[in-house]
Structure 1
């Protein structure tokens, strides 16, 4: 603590230092702001023009801030028993003036000055002391606003602060009334003009305090402290909150405890005499206040000095006539298409080359040879009939906007168009519920079996024949294997009963044998057996998938049909790489599952033909993602800004003209749920969690199952 007032940097000096620093910072900010927008020109006469600044508010793009406030001082020291039984908000007034600037978006530094009065009155039968001190404070402070922990759309901003300051105090006490009579505190609780033990105590008159603090405590020197310093250092520590009011204004409310380095603010210490004796702790005081502040924007209109050209009008005209702003080789006077991007080929009129005449320059045209008169999109690709219909429906449904955001999601791949040509197949089974293990083995022993799903029913069909007799011969072959079968027509993905059409051909084949039964071994890759049906998107890249639901409740997935064990093994490796870690080879022959040894495999141990593949998906190919929105047409600018601001956004086209936007890639369900809530608060209430496997979107609950959660 300083020992002499002369050695102190008082608040006036701090205020002057703060003003000098503020002027320097403001000047540096102005120089940086102006240098960003200064343009080169020819040296000559000077004129002033106004143009909008674009350099931002200061070096960091943050606004300097000034504020004025009012509050209440509460004293905690030797007088008043540390303010016990007193309300800290019903005391003496104080005023503050602050000037600050953000050092970072989350840390603010500033200077401040405060002025007010501290005081306390202690009244009892044993001790009667009072004081009032006029305090002047100056210092600097740092504030932290918890920005990293707050949502982007927060309205109230809490903060904590710490600083260092100089405190000057002038302490006085009330010892006499307005008539100059001294206060004498009697044991009956009254105040009189004569001491209780005086000889003329009988003449004493009851008087009242006037609460006018006229006596300088240091000058009284009751405790023999002499001419002690009436200034000290202090450390302020505070908490508060800030509310943005708009228009650059804000409202702050807070409370700060000032811990001084001295114990003489109230004139009482542990060295005081008699009943005046206090404790050894330094004095402190609380300032609870509110303030109104204003952020000074550096982006306002700035007057800037620009040089006037010394060229004559004729010279200026010559420059204009020969100017080529877009540097495409065509003078601006003759350029029908100004501002052509750099590198584009142009014609004699300065317009980008467009050989198919669709209005999209060749450099940007994804379909450079569109048909004459065809309507194209912004990439020059011809609109299909489906795209026209989708845009028309989107327009009718949208009213005045063309954005559609929905939680409804189709996780399956786009189904391939079914052939319109009628073909004939042999149906070997159809089930709504599961089928027996015996029938499963019979079906899987057929090399060219495939499945057709219609609603809840799965049809198992074989072959693809142009004529009924060929299909009937295959039917006989399958019946020879003990498999119930029936020829049907397949058209547009539907099975049609053709019993009447096959009747005549069936009569011709009556009495013929069952035909040659396939006696080759068929090897397949079993991907897994699951208690639940998986999303079609998981198998989007597998074209020959066979799905079989057994009566044991398991849904089995198979791919491939091979007679060569080596080719089958290579296919299995491809499935392992796709993340199906439980994939293994199974062999079928004449309607039964057999050992893969019969297919030419060499085993190192016994093979259990009743075993199922461990249904394991490699977690490295699994992720959780967040679908932020599903949009048709152009995304509004404000929405696109929000999407870009998130970072890690992936856009996936949805045929014919939609786009889905996904955020992040998570392995932990709790983390993705927390991120979803945060995105919903940012203006995307329909955001929801999905899964992803090998780049294909699947429902979140299936991702949970595959992760084993």
Structure 2
């Protein structure tokens, strides 16, 4: 009945149900990783986004203010070349140059004015593409940008026709070669503008404009969207409003007089553009493709697929029992035979014909009912009664009237509360070890030496072995461990003195636990002493 019960409940290291292999009698085959070169610091690789855009450049300010003659569809062509590269996160830095023509024409009852200039702009900007909020595999890539540019201009105006006649704008809408005055009504000739901007506004001081530099700065603020056509090619659509830091590009300012007097606000312009960009950086798909490439060599792949490390005739890829010893027959899966089907191969099985469904140990030997019962009781034990204990007996000689004090006997003092079990074994091998009280701590006196130099030499020897020693003392026999080959924790003299102080006392270890047992587990054990060792195990003695 116990055997049947364990077939369902028991899982223990002493038994095996399938393919149990003793680690001391088999060898395993390892597939070592392919050696790779030592890593080197990442190198900075400049992989920019290069783009070109074309569009319309529109002037906004004093001339034709509020009129529709300067709309984007009636403006001048301009081009923009830019080189961008990513910064941290969702930001890009762009260097660009813009070139084109900026002009405006105004025809009104109070004032008629015009200007035209070639514009060259150089600068940089930072853009943000909303990567923090949008999907990484999106097709449309919106952006915002802001920058700072330097611009060169040379504004001119059209004041004369091809024959050198000045334009006079009449109230009837015509342009004539004489001023709009009654006496010139019949003599003034109607002429046409030739749109040849021949007069330099600065040099001619048109309208009384003061002398000024032909360069200035502006702040571009842009918005737009990039459309990813493939992994590298992007289409770009955007608009940039440029806040100029000057008011003299159009030739009208607050310093000019008469009908050419301005409102004192700086000039602005709008650039609406469309273009293409080539992204030279690696996209996530390319990175994944490169990461998926294995660094393993063809030879290593061949060894994995066609190799047979244990030479049992079954390829590594198909071998379910790698590391079979030489000369052992295997089946098609590379596993040695197991005639009794107990999980231990025949060449390792010390009991080749174990009973059917028997629970066996790592050597293939069936466990008896008594062994299974002991394992089961130990498995479910909560009181510690069946716990593994150290069969260690300590004997304390408590001073009595018959105890003889030794003169001229020297011992090495050792701190008794800082020893490991291995160090305790080492001291016990000396044969003469006594436990004494040193204040509130327990000290050990090791050895009995007839002369002081021998005791000092023993102290040095123990120190070299990592055992902390104190002074060499003249021994006064207080306590002695009787079993020289025992292992465990020393019992202090203070605990012994609570018992009989005239007779020899035997103290037996009755339990050793990692976790504190339930309260009352040792209620029936008299004179119980609990000691926690350096290994964290709580040992109980009686």
**TM-score calculated relative to the size of structure 1:** 0.36
Q: Which has the higher contact order (CA 8 A, sep 6+)?
A: 2
Task: Mark the structure with the bigger radius of gyration.
Answer: 2
